[in-house]
Structure formats: structure tokens, C-alpha cells
Amino acid sequence: MEKGLIHIYCGDGKGKTTAAVGLCVRACGCGKKVLLAQFLKDDSSGELVSLGLLPGFSRIPAPKRVKFTFQMNEEERRESAKRCAQMLQDARRAAEAGACDLLVLDECFGALSTGMLNMEALLDFVEHKPPKLELILTGRNPPEEFMALADYVSEVRKVKHPYDVGTPARRGIEY
């Protein structure tokens, strides 16, 4: 029986999602079923087009547009939290049904830190994930409880970033 491991890609640098996407490509190329859930993101990111062409790849649909949480009013925050909870529930259900060999919960730590995702719900899933499931969690500042459960922790550290001098995110590079 092959044991599935837990990966964390964290830090303040660019490349956490990119690393997770690379693992999705590798797994699909080896005939594995991959499921991607992206919290706090919309469906406009360029990698989704390419990933959607891969056999074995699926994703939990994201909304067409997502505001940054600091731009949301209270009603939008409630709706976003409800959507994040549903995405986690859908991901968990799919994993428990054996619908994926590899599951990516992209930006789950950002959803936690902004109050859009429930800590206990995410932690319970990670602690009780199906034994063969390969699980990838991404985002800044993962709580220690998750770090203790992880088999891999890779930190992406920002040394320099164009955003610091006012360059906005560019389609095809940052998203």
C-alpha cells in the first residue's frame, strides 16, 4: 500500500502555486487523477487552461471574479467564507470517494488567515485524509499544527519582487 504524503508550499515569495501546478502536471503525466481547489482565486489564471487539457485533471470551479478580502464588504465576506467552506467540503468528499490521487488546496492558508476558511474543518480533513491521498497545501504562514503534520515543507522566500516598486501582476507570469 502506497502512503500518500502531505506537502506544504509556503512563504512570502512567488512560486507556491507554480510548484503545486508542476506537481499536478507530473502526476497527470503518470496517469494519476488530480483535483485542484483554489481558495480566494477566480478562474482567470493562465495555468487553468493548460491543466484543463491534461487527462486526469479536474478542479473545483471558482467564481468568475474574486475581490481581495480587504476590499469585501461584510456580505461579500460571508459569501466568500461560505464558498470556501463548500469548496473544502467538495474536495474532502471527492478525496474520500477516491476521485483523486492528488489533491491541491491552493491558498488554503490565505483563506485561513483571512477568516474565509475554518481552521478546525481544514485540520480535521488533513488529520483524517485518505491514506493513499497525496495532499498539497499552499499559502503564507501555515499554522504550526499543519507544519507538524506535513511530510514536506518547502518555503519560497522573497528576495526581490517587482510589486515592491509598483509593477502590477502580469497575466501569464503572476497569474
Assign residue 134 the CATH number of its domain. 3.40.50.300
Domain limits for position 105: 6-155
| Among 18, 22, 15, CA closest to 102 | 22
What is the grid cell recorded at 96? 474520500
Distance CA 5, CA 129 (A): 10
Q: Is the pLDDT of residue 65 over 80?
A: no
Beta strands in the chain (DSSP E): 6-10, 34-38, 57-59, 102-106, 134-138, 152-155
Each residue of 6-53: pLDDT tens digit? Answer: 999 999 999 999 999 999 999 999 999 999 999 999 888 889 999 999
Q: At a CB cut-off of 8 Å and minimum separation 6, what does 142 contact? A: 8, 10, 109, 150, 153
Give 91's DSSP letter: H
Residue 166 lies in a domain: no
Residue 163 lies in a domain: no
Three-class DSSP category at 88: helix
pLDDT at position 137 is 98
Q: How many domains does the chain have?
A: 1
Give 4's DSSP letter: P
At residue 4, what are phi and psi to the nearest 5 degrees?
-80, 140
Residue 18 lies in a domain: yes
Residue 66 lies in a domain: yes
The whole model's pTM is what?
0.91
